[in-house]
Structure 1
Amino acid sequence: MNTPFYFAFGLTLLAGLCTGVGSILSLGYKKFNPKFLGGMLGLSAGVMLYVSFAEIINKAKISLTEVFGEQLGAIYTVVGFFSGILAIILIDKLIPSHDHDHEDENASSVKGNQNQKLYRLGIFSALALAIHNFPEGLATFMSAINEPSYGLSIAFAVAVHNIPEGIAVAIPIYYATKSRKKAFWYSFLSGLAEPIGALIGYFILRQFFDDSIFGIIFSSVAGIMVYISLNELIPTAREYAGQKITMWGILVGMLIMAISLLLFI
């Protein structure tokens, strides 16, 4: 393998591993703090919502428009978006819930239900981000191998916005399990989808991975992330921290993601 391959793969690997950086930064609190938890979940929702509507949907529409034209490209973008929502709803139904069928006044039982809810939330976030990171890693890798200076700027921007994405996975997992190690590894593994995407794309999918497939994947991922934000992250954040802190968390998350995306320009 030549030098450009190792350079491009190294950039993609480092960008993906920054989800682990996000988890490290978010795991400083040893004592349970519901307001901190709620604020960070709100921040995670802001990150997911902003990146979905400001970047991912736009990328999907551009790719699909190039293949199918303006009107059909827009239609397929919408279809992909709502297909992603439908897919995550079905996944939600397939993952067993441990909620009790009968109301239980026992405090430990209530706490167990809350932990299970947070754990499921972390798993959903990890799943959505891994799916998102797979084609993102391929795009970063291919940009770097074709134009190293452009690839470097893209990898840096991806690395920056992977940090808050790592928080989205680590925080609910940590508060559900009280295990920093487990929170870190889930976050870390979701970021590994980027270098894995680069390798699979380079060796296997280059002849199949065209703009249409890229667009459908990205529009579906946007739908998944929006659903998780609206149905899981924001309601859970409000439950722990209230409306005001949740809203500030969302706004800060959007601002962080907006700044990181400006690095692409």
Structure 2
Amino acid sequence: MGAWFVELSPVMQAFIITLFTWGCTAVGASFVFFTKKANQKVFDSMLAFAGGVMIAASFWSLLAPGIAMAEEQGIPPYIPAAVGFLLGGLFLMLVDKILPLIDENLYFKDIKNKKAKHRTAMLVFSLTLHNIPEGLAIGVAFGALASEFSTGTLSGAMALAIGIGIQNIPEGTAVSMPLRRDGMSKWRSFYYGQFSGMVEPASAVVGALAVIFIQPLLPYALSFAAGAMIFVVAKEVIPGSQEKGNVQLATMSLMIGFVVMMVLDVALG
């Protein structure tokens, strides 16, 4: 990354880097223009690799800096780590409970097949809502860099964003391909496929601003973001990468992703 990026405020850094993660969602959605069927092994390995990156980043880029900051502030470090981590998971659990209450007919009127409409609407809304804490996690990681207590690094925050970006590619494809298969036009399928990534830049800015202006909450915010990440990996990423039968490939890809993130964060941090 160029010197111009390093000189920007953490809020602008978070906003710009989440334009990249949104772009990754759009890249995945754009495959609808080039192929009728995605290579399942490639996407399963990519998804699992991103899961490994997210697991490692949850500790080295979020939990560990949060624990160190709590110690600096004189707080028992296990309290914000445990409380924030569990709240992050509980938040997404509540999101899952809310999803069935959303009226997909309001947003997906042009999908003719009622069953397909329901399935795709739930998928788009699910990915969109799950991308909010992903954007918050990136924002928190960058916002923490402005704190005098933070042990986080720019390279760690960047690595977290890259992992989330990689994970967003198959997410975009997972929406656009079924829509095209159900008879929607390529451009409209692409639009809905990239839609879920739109929320990440806005939520990243919110996350960065929150931790900058409410620094005592930063250890909790970092742990919250870590909990949200682990929830997404455990509930969506790992099962999604293995449901088509590529279990060993997905498992090794996850381990490689974990090692890559660990090396990046430890070596560069």
- Partner secondary structure for residue 77 of structure 2: helix
Moved more, 168-177 or 84-93: 168-177
Q: Give, as a single letter, the amino acid of the residue that structure 1 aligns with 2:54.
A: M
Measure the CA separation in 1 of the matches of 2:78 and 2:69.
10
Distance 1:38 1:215, change over 3 A: same
Measure the CA separation in 2 of the matches of 1:95 and 1:63.
35
Distance 1:12 1:252, change over 3 A: same
Distance 1:260 1:20, change over 3 A: farther
1:253 matched to 2:257: yes
Distance 1:244 1:191, change over 3 A: farther
Matches within 5 A, 1:1-265: 7-8=8-9, 10-20=12-22, 22-23=24-25, 29=31, 30-33=35-38, 34-69=40-75, 72-96=76-100, 115=120, 118-119=123-124, 122-140=127-145, 142=146, 154=154, 157-178=156-177, 179-184=189-194, 186-187=196-197, 189-198=199-208, 200=209, 206=213, 209-211=214-216, 213-262=217-266, 264-265=268-269
Aligned residue pairs total 238
TM-score by length of 1: 0.71
Distance 1:163 1:190, change over 3 A: same
CA contact (8 A) 1:118 1:173 kept: no
CA contact (8 A) 2:175 2:193 kept: no
* Identical pairs, percent: 18
Measure the CA separation in 1 of the matches of 2:250 and 2:118.
21
TM-score by length of 2: 0.70
Q: CA RMSD in A?
A: 3.7
Shift of 1:65: 2.3
CA contact (8 A) 1:84 1:222 kept: yes
Moved more, 178-187 or 33-42: 178-187
Alignment correspondent of 1:102: none
CA deviations on 1:46-67 (whole Å, 9 max, x unpaired) are: 1221111333111221122222
Distance 1:190 1:237, change over 3 A: same
Shift of 1:160: 4.3
Measure the CA separation in 2 of the matches of 1:128 and 1:92.
13
- Partner secondary structure for residue 96 of structure 1: helix
Distance 1:185 1:113, change over 3 A: closer
Measure the CA separation in 1 of the matches of 2:117 and 2:242.
19
Measure the CA separation in 2 of the matches of 1:74 and 1:13.
30
Q: Structure 2: 5+ residue runs without aligned partners? A: 103-112, 178-188
CA deviations on 1:10-48 (whole Å, 9 max, x unpaired) are: 544433333245446656753423222322221222122
